[in-house]
Amino acid sequence: MLRIISQRSEAEAELRRICDRTFDEEMVHKEATVQQVLQTVRRNGDGALLDYTEEFDGQRLEVSQLRVSALELEAAYQQVDKPLLDAIELASRQIEAFHRQRMPKSWVHFAQDEVVLGKHYTPVDRAGIYIPGGRAAYPSTVLMNAIPAKVAGVPRIVMCTPPGTHQGISPAVLVAAQFAGVNEIYRVGGAQAIAALAYGTQTVPKVDLITGPGNIYVTLAKKMVYGVVGIDSLAGPSEVLVIADREANPVHVATDLLAQAEHDPIAAAILITTDRTLAREVAAEVDKQLINHPRQILTEKAIAHYGLIVVVDSLQEAVELSNLFAPEHLELEVAEPWDLLPQIRHAGAIFLGYSTPEAVGDYLAGPNHTLPTSGAARYASALGVETFMKHSSLIQYSPTALNKMASAIMTLADAEGLPSHAHSVRVRTSSPEEE
Ligand SMILES: NC(=O)c1ccc[n+]([C@@H]2O[C@H](COP(=O)([O-])OP(=O)(O)OC[C@H]3O[C@@H](n4cnc5c(N)ncnc54)[C@H](O)[C@@H]3O)[C@@H](O)[C@H]2O)c1
Ligand SMILES: N[C@H](CO)Cc1c[nH]c[nH+]1
Ligand SMILES: [Zn+2]
């Protein structure tokens, strides 16, 4: 049964515990495992990938099987039925349309007389996208990562995903990858996949940027390779926080909580409501739906450890607690959701109103579902086209403009004790005798 609490200090402590759940005592052990995996892959390349795939995914592969072949890619199309193909196509269109609008544009600005300033945007050369595949197959995540990379103009998109069960990688994942323009796919998951993308192996190319969500091993590995490569954000185990008023439908709210809990045993599902009756109804409905849930064990674990209902006196209090948690997904199941928006300070994605389940955003609304978790929404945002791009600053000064600024630049350089900096301006602005 979902716990219901109403004391403010207890609610704050619980929300902090759930937010920090990926930094628990077991973390030291997991960090050590990931550290070891990264070092071994860096040293032994493909051999280490095969060993870890056997250890963590239960499959012994040959080196030649690491890369998904053209034949397998073609065969995948035969295994995906028409409605799924159509849904992938529709989702692709919507995701692409949204991300095209967000394409950053290079700009120049004539700041002062004879001074040009600006930004020049360029995509990374190689992006590695990680597509989770341990407990579920995620064709939607392929689209959410590869489409913005494509829109950004990344020339080489490399995808890694676990080898799947004995039946292999889900055909829907392979079809989505082809729709979205992924250039090559490798059958490797977990921290070993992140290591391969960061350092390169004999088979898997080293990339410049790694994006995509994953479980705790993937997320820790991304954190550790940051610097060797760029990363998007720490998009770890899923979370939803629902703020609901008395008009909210308890069956809808309960289902939305379960929709995130079913991702991972350390997924988080939180309801904050002003209505005690709704709180009780939602808790009962969650129990009811769990009885015949196809992912019962995993989902029950998430609900038991990281599920929570908080009853508050006002929506204002609900928002304060939500800001403290900084959820990956925030649902505003209230009569006037737009009125709450100005007070929301941290959330990866915000779903407004009673008829906007978070699943709309997971699949096809358009905005990205790769979002910061575990409080990272306090400083990070959804994956986007800009994630795959960087910008170079543009600066041009005419001789006249340089003359105008010379004295200030030389004064600053002298103050820093950097004579060549000052001299690089002096030689351009003074007459030859003065040099
Ligand atoms: N934040 C987001 O945007 C977002 C989107 C989709 C999914 N998700 C999250 O992604 C995650 C997917 O997790 P998953 O497990 O299904 O797939 P995954 O691909 O992330 O992880 C599976 C891999 O983990 C490795 N692994 C498993 N147990 C291990 C162990 N004991 N030691 C070392 N490595 C081990 C294996 O190599 C396996 O291939 C979930 O937490 C889900 O909530 C997040
Ligand atoms: N809710 C996940 C992000 O936390 C994304 C997803 C993909 N498929 C279903 N859900
Ligand atoms: Zn989801």
The protein residue whose alpha carbon is closest to atom 5 in ligand 2 is 362
Answer yes or no: do 250 and 213 share one domain: no
Instruction: Give the chain's domain count.
Output: 3
Please indicate whether residue 367, judged by its CB atom, sits closer than 6 Å to ligand 1.
no
The strand pairing partners of 8, in sequence order, are none
Answer yes or no: do 78 and 224 share one domain: yes
Answer yes or no: do 368 and 416 share one domain: no
3-state secondary structure 42-80: HHHCHHHHHHHHHHHHCCCCCHHHCECCHHHHHHHHHCC
Q: What are phi and psi of 407, to 5 degrees?
A: -60, -45
**Pairwise CA distance, residues 211 & 189, whole Å:** 13
Angle at which helix 171-180 crosses helix 82-101, to 10 degrees, equals 40
pLDDT value at residue 28: 84
**In this predicted structure, which of 28-32, 41-45, 178-182, 264-268 has the lowest mean pLDDT?**
28-32
pLDDT digits (tens, 9 = 90+) for 98-115: 999 989 999 999 978 899
- Domain membership of residue 39 (yes or no) is no
Q: Dmax over Cα atoms in the chain, in whole Å?
A: 90
Provide the residue range defining the domain that includes 213: 45-233
Mean per-residue pLDDT for 302-330? 98
Closest alpha carbon to 261 in 243, 239, 245: 239
Residues of the chain with pLDDT > 70: what percent?
99
329 marked among binding-site residues: yes
Closest alpha carbon to 76 in 18, 33, 84: 84
The protein residue whose alpha carbon is closest to atom 1 in ligand 2 is 362
Structure tokens at 139: 């064709």
Whether residue 432 is predicted with pLDDT greater than 70 in this model: the reply is no
Whole-Å CA distances, 424 to 168, 181, 311, 410, 429: 61, 47, 65, 9, 9
- What's the CATH code of the domain at 70? 3.40.50.1980
- Domain membership of residue 393 (yes or no) is no
* Ligand 2 centroid from CA 138, angstroms: 8
Stated pTM of the model: 0.95
pLDDT digits (tens, 9 = 90+) for 7-40: 999 999 999 999 999 877 677 889 999 999 999 9
pLDDT value at residue 22: 82
pLDDT value at residue 61: 96
CB neighbours of 429 closer than 8 A, spacing ≥ 6?
A: 399, 402, 403, 406
Share the mean pLDDT of the chain: 96
pLDDT value at residue 375: 96
ipTM confidence: 0.98
pLDDT value at residue 433: 52
pLDDT digits (tens, 9 = 90+) for 234-257: 888 999 999 999 999 999 999 999
pLDDT digits (tens, 9 = 90+) for 361-387: 999 999 999 999 999 999 999 999 999
pLDDT value at residue 435: 52
**Pairwise CA distance, residues 177 & 359, whole Å:** 21
431 marked among binding-site residues: no
Answer yes or no: do 262 and 338 share one domain: yes
Instruction: Tell which wins on pLDDT, 378 or 233.
Output: 378
- Domain membership of residue 9 (yes or no) is yes
Please indicate whether residue 215, judged by its CB atom, sits closer than 6 Å to ligand 2.
no
Answer yes or no: do 410 and 373 share one domain: no
Taking a 5 Å cut-off on Cβ, the residues next to ion ligand 3 are 362
The DSSP line for 334-385 is SS-HHHHGGG----SEEEESTT--HHHHHHTSSS-S----TTGGGT-----G
Q: Is 239 one of the annotated active-site residues of the chain?
A: no
pLDDT value at residue 23: 76
CB atoms within 10 A of CB 217: 22
Closest alpha carbon to 347 in 374, 334, 329: 329
